[in-house]
Amino acid sequence: MCIYFKCVEICAFHVPIRKMTNNIEQGCPNVALRPVFGGPQVHLLELLRRTALHGESNSVLLVGPRGAGKTMLLKSVLKELLKEKDVNKTLMQVHLNGLLQTDDKIALKEITRQLHLENVVGDKVFGSFAENLAFLLEALKKGDRSSSRPVLFLLDEFDLFVHHKNQTLLYNLFDVSQSAQAPIAVVGLTCRLDVLELLEKRVKSRFSHRQIHLLSGATFPDYVQRVQSKLWLPEQFPDQRFAHEWNNSALCEDKSVEDALQRHFNSSKDFRSLHVLLMLCLSRVTVAKPCIKPADVLEASRVCFADAKANMLHGLSILELCLIIAMKHLNDVYEGEPFNLQMVHNEFKKFLQRKSSTIYHFEPAVVMKAFEHLQQLELIRPLDSPGARTQREFQLMRLLLDTSQIMEALQKYPQCPTDVKQWAMNLQLNWL
C-alpha cells in the first residue's frame, strides 16, 4: 500500500514538470513573451494577403541576426493569414531549407512532394529546371489562368541556396514571381546582410528588392519576464497549493540568479539558448527537492558555458598534455607562427633536460602517436592539404586552443604534476 501511494505521489509530482517542459519546448501563446513586430508584420501580412486573395506575385527577404524573430514573425503572419476562410482553402505552402535541400534537384523533388504532384509528374522527362517548375505550377490551375492556386515558397537559410549551381532555383522562382506566370510569393529568411551581393546579375534583376530587417530589441527585464512566464503554472493546475508555492518563488530576485541570467543575456539574446538553460534547471527537480534553487540555475549556467575543447583536455594523457604546453610556448615565442612535430618535440626535450627525470621520457614513435591523436581530436590543424607530400615530422600545424583554455584545463586536470603546471605558467622561458 505504501508503495502504491508513493507511485501516485511521484506521478502527480511529474505532471507540473511535464507541463513546464512542454511550455518551454513548444511555447505557450498565453504566457510566452513575443516581440512586437509592428510595421514589419503589417507589411509582410499585406504582401502575402495580396498573393493569396488577388493572385499578385511578390518576393521579399527577411534579414536579421539569429534569434531576432524572423521565423516567429513569419509564423505569426501565416497564422493570421490562414484565419481567412478563402485563404485557408486555396493557399499552398512549400517549405525549403538550405541545410536540407543542398542542390536544385533535391529541392525540385521536395517541391513536387509538398505540392502533392508526384502522381502528376510520374515518369515525365523535362528538358530543364524551368520547364519542370512551369509544369508543376500549371498542374495547380483549376481551369483557367485566373483560378490558379497561389503558392507560398518559404526559403529558410536563403543564403545557402545562392551557392547552388547557376542559382537556377532562385532564378526560376523570381522569374515566375516577376512575370506573373502564376500567383506565387517567395519569402527568404537569412542572417546575412550582404545576401544581395551574392546573387548573380540575372537573378538580382528579377528580385523585387524588398527587404524587411529585424533586430533583436529584447531588454533584460523582458528576458527575466520570459523566465517567469516559462516556469509559470496556470491557475487551473490541479494542485493549487503546489502551484501557489511554485509561482510565488522569488527565484529571479536572487542576486546570483540575476547575475547568471545577465551573463546569458549579454552572451546571446536568443530565447532558444535561454530555453536550454531552463530545461537543465528543470531536470534537477526531484520529488525530494520539488523546486528550483539558485544553485540549480548556477550549475545549469556552468554547463551551458562549459568550454568543450577545454573539457576535452581533461581526458588527455600526460604526454599529450605536455605536447600541448610545448605548442603553447612555441606560440608565445614565435607569436602564433605554425609549428611542426620536430619543433614541439625539441621544446619538450628542453623541459626533460630541466627536470633531469626519466618519468617523462618517451620513445619518438610514442610521441608521434600522441601528436597524431591531438590532430584527430582537432586540437591542432595542418596547414597543408591532405594530399601534400610532406614528412609527418615536418608538416606545419596550428594550435586551435588559446592560453586561457589551456590554463583552465590544467587547473582542473586530475592529479596534474606540479612541475608540468609550473612549466605551463612560465611564459618567459627564462630557464630554458
Asked, for residue 168, whether it belongs to a domain, the answer is yes
Report the alpha-carbon distance of residue 323 to residue 423 in Å, rounded: 12
Asked, for residue 186, whether it belongs to a domain, the answer is yes
pLDDT for the residue 34: 46
What SS3 class is residue 148?
Answer: strand
Asked, for residue 25, whether it belongs to a domain, the answer is no
Residue type, 386: P
pLDDT for the residue 136: 79
What SS3 class is residue 92?
Answer: strand
Asked, for residue 270, whether it belongs to a domain, the answer is yes
pLDDT for the residue 161: 93
The closest of 234, 268, 229, 271 to 251, measured between CA atoms, is 229
Q: Answer yes or no: do 327 and 181 share one domain.
A: no
For position 363, which CATH number holds? Answer: 1.10.10.10
Q: Answer yes or no: do 93 and 149 share one domain.
A: yes
For position 105, which CATH number holds? Answer: 3.40.50.300
Whether the pTM exceeds 0.85: the reply is: no
Spans of the chain below 70 pLDDT: 1-37, 122-123, 125, 140-147, 217, 250, 355-360, 385-388, 427-432
Q: Answer yes or no: do 68 and 197 share one domain.
A: yes
pLDDT for the residue 49: 92
pLDDT for the residue 32: 37
pLDDT for the residue 162: 92
Q: Answer yes or no: do 198 and 226 share one domain.
A: no
pLDDT for the residue 269: 78
Q: Answer yes or no: do 207 and 64 share one domain.
A: yes
Task: Region of 362 please: left (phi>0), alpha (psi -120 to 50) or beta.
Answer: beta
Domain assignment of residue 262, given as a range: 218-304
Asked, for residue 119, whether it belongs to a domain, the answer is yes
pLDDT for the residue 358: 55
Cα dihedral sign, 360-361-365-371? positive
pLDDT for the residue 187: 95
Half-sphere exposure in the Cβ direction for 200 (13 Å, CA): 15
pLDDT for the residue 242: 80
Asked, for residue 431, whether it belongs to a domain, the answer is no
Last residue of a domain, one of 246, 277, 304: 304
Last residue of a domain, one of 213, 246, 263: 213
Q: Is residue 405 exposed (0-12), middle (13-18) or buried (19+ Cβ within 10 Å)?
A: buried
- 337: CB partners within 8 A, 6+ apart: 330, 331
The closest of 270, 277, 341 to 65, measured between CA atoms, is 270
Q: Answer yes or no: do 110 and 155 share one domain.
A: yes
Helix orientation angle between 255-267 and 220-230, rounded to the nearest 10 degrees: 110
Q: Answer yes or no: do 153 and 272 share one domain.
A: no
Q: Answer yes or no: do 230 and 204 share one domain.
A: no
Tell me which residue has cell 546569458: 264
Asked, for residue 267, whether it belongs to a domain, the answer is yes
Q: Answer yes or no: do 184 and 273 share one domain.
A: no
Q: Answer yes or no: do 226 and 285 share one domain.
A: yes
Q: Answer yes or no: do 115 and 192 share one domain.
A: yes
Q: Answer yes or no: do 238 and 357 share one domain.
A: no
Total domains in the fold of the chain: 3
**CB-CB contact of 215 with 62 (8 Å):** no
Last residue of a domain, one of 304, 338, 358: 304
Asked, for residue 34, whether it belongs to a domain, the answer is no
